[in-house]
Amino acid sequence: MEINAKKTKTMHIGRDTKSLTVTVGNAVLEQVSKYSYLGHMITEDVATLKEVQIRIEKTRQKFWENKELLRSNVGLNTKKRILACYIVSIFNYGCEAWTYSKMLQKKIQTFEMWCCRRLLKVPWTEKKTNKEIIQMADVVERLMQ
């Protein structure tokens, strides 16, 4: 196997900001603080909040592209299947690289409730709890699985 030293970069992930010197053959590999992997930004501090916010916005755009289908008089079971197959898979793309925190879990749950409220056509002015929405939609939280 050959490694292209011009294209290969290194990154140190940890609490301390060490400078590493890695050589391949006679070439010293460049150390970077962030890089893009499968369309996701990986950083030294493994901060995924910004990445999740970007993923939520992309998923929200796809949701609105299909709003006629998701907000129409199509049956609730069909809407739930579309949500499970299409929307959840868009959101979860690349989630293997995320580091979960309590704040991140809250943002994901908030987005999931946003989707459920849109499917059920429940306006924000109706004071329904998340528990009530989950019961009405008869859904299981999928984004955190």
On whether residue 32 sits in a domain, the answer given is: yes
Quote the number of domains for the chain.
2
On whether residue 62 sits in a domain, the answer given is: yes
pLDDT of the chain along its 145 residues, tens only?
Answer: 788 888 888 888 777 767 888 888 888 998 888 887 777 777 777 677 888 888 899 999 988 888 787 767 888 888 888 888 888 888 888 787 777 788 888 998 899 899 888 888 888 888 889 888 888 888 766 655 5
* Predicted local confidence at residue 84, as pLDDT: 83
* Predicted local confidence at residue 145, as pLDDT: 53
Q: What share of the chain is helix, strand, coil (3-state, %, to 5)?
A: 50, 10, 40
Provide the residue range defining the domain that includes 31. 9-43
Same domain, 61 and 125: yes
- Helices in 66-101 by DSSP H: which ranges? 67-71, 76-82, 88-92
| Residue 6, both tokens | 């011009």
Same domain, 78 and 31: no
DSSP state of 6: T
Same domain, 28 and 92: no
* Predicted local confidence at residue 57, as pLDDT: 93
CB 87 within 8 A of CB 116: no
Buried b (16+ CB within 10 A) or exposed e, 3-18: eebeeeeeeeeeeeee
